[in-house]
Amino acid sequence: MDLPASAALVARLVVLDAVGSTNSELVRLVAADPGAWPAPAVLVTDRQTAGRGRLGRVWSARAGDSLAISLLLRPDVPRERLGWLSLAAGAAMTEALAGLGVPARAKWPNDVLIGGRKVCGVLAEVLPEPSGAVGSLGAGVVIGAGLNHAAARKDLPVPTATSLAAEGGPTDPDLLIAAYLTRLLPLVRAFEAAGGDPDASGLRARVRSTSDTIGRRVRVSRPDGDVLGEAVDIDPDGRVVVDRGPILGTVACSTGDVEHLRYE
């Protein structure tokens, strides 16, 4: 893979022919030699053999079907604000695809959908200190995005998945990665400049405007029971706010699986 446009946007970009997980590999490489990985840096492959999702879930794709893009950032923001970066990545990928003519929408907290099917999943990880931080710079964060660019519909791993090829969208890796970075990096810079304030930086507005979850009836599965209602907002802590009706009122959910309900 030749990625000149994408490489021009970051301090370092490395393409691997194949790797288990780009997130795990980038975390390992940065821990081994932090000075060799200035931020922003990207590790990418189209042959990820042991891709990971949230909660130990698996991201699977045939060789050449999906791009695994891991981005190293060292944002100078308070640690408790770092969770906004994975929402930023989902918003940036959604905007990038929309800019290329693909009707993509973001599903809180970490998916990008086309027509209700997942085309991209995001998985962010904070690097352990002290290897994650270099000098006075902020904590290291690796944001992974798995993007089904080239898969034929028959080769998609699960019925809830789709791909850019299956949707008639663009499939060129350099075009896609550069479009994503072109949205995400300025968003991260604005977030840093605002000291990690999601409102002052405009980040929360971008997350809201790309959200397919706001305005939908949802079920959020949580360990302490399901929350059922209408998703009405993403709050200043990045949580989805669910309106359960006049008696139960609203509740903000920070984690959990969200199901967009079509019928009630």
Q: Which residues lie near ligand ATP (CB under 6 A)?
A: 53-54, 57-61, 66, 110-111, 118, 121, 148, 157-158, 161, 257
Minimal distance, residue 146 CB to ligand ATP, in Å: 6
CA dihedral sign of residues 101, 240, 118, 47? positive
Q: Measured from the CB atom, is 12 or 260 closer to ligand ATP?
A: 260
Q: Measured from the CB atom, is 38 or 157 closer to ligand ATP?
A: 157
Q: What distance in Å separates the CA atoms of residue 140 and residue 204, rounded to the nearest whole number?
A: 22
Minimal distance, residue 261 CB to ligand ATP, in Å: 13
- Cα 130 to the chain's mean position, in Å? 24
Q: Measured from the CB atom, is 6 or 23 closer to ligand ATP?
A: 23
- Helix axis angle, 173-193 to 84-99, nearest 10°: 140
Minimal distance, residue 177 CB to ligand ATP, in Å: 17
Q: What distance in Å separates the CA atoms of residue 165 and residue 174, rounded to the nearest whole number?
A: 15
Q: Measured from the CB atom, is 125 or 197 closer to ligand ATP?
A: 125
Minimal distance, residue 143 CB to ligand ATP, in Å: 13
Q: Which residue is nearest to ligand ATP (CB)?
A: 53
Q: What distance in Å separates the CA atoms of residue 121 and residue 113, rounded to the nearest whole number?
A: 9
**Which amino acid would we find at residue 181?**
L
Q: Measured from the CB atom, is 12 or 217 closer to ligand ATP?
A: 217
Minimal distance, residue 53 CB to ligand ATP, in Å: 2
Residue with the two structure tokens 């405007």: 209
Cβ–Cβ under 8 Å, residues 28 and 155:
no
The three-class DSSP label of residue 130 is: coil
Q: Measured from the CB atom, is 59 or 191 closer to ligand ATP?
A: 59
Cβ–Cβ under 8 Å, residues 149 and 66:
yes
Q: What distance in Å separates the CA atoms of residue 162 and residue 156, rounded to the nearest whole number?
A: 7
Minimal distance, residue 168 CB to ligand ATP, in Å: 17
Q: Measured from the CB atom, is 51 or 198 closer to ligand ATP?
A: 51
Cβ–Cβ under 8 Å, residues 131 and 141:
no
Cβ–Cβ under 8 Å, residues 50 and 148:
no
Minimal distance, residue 161 CB to ligand ATP, in Å: 3
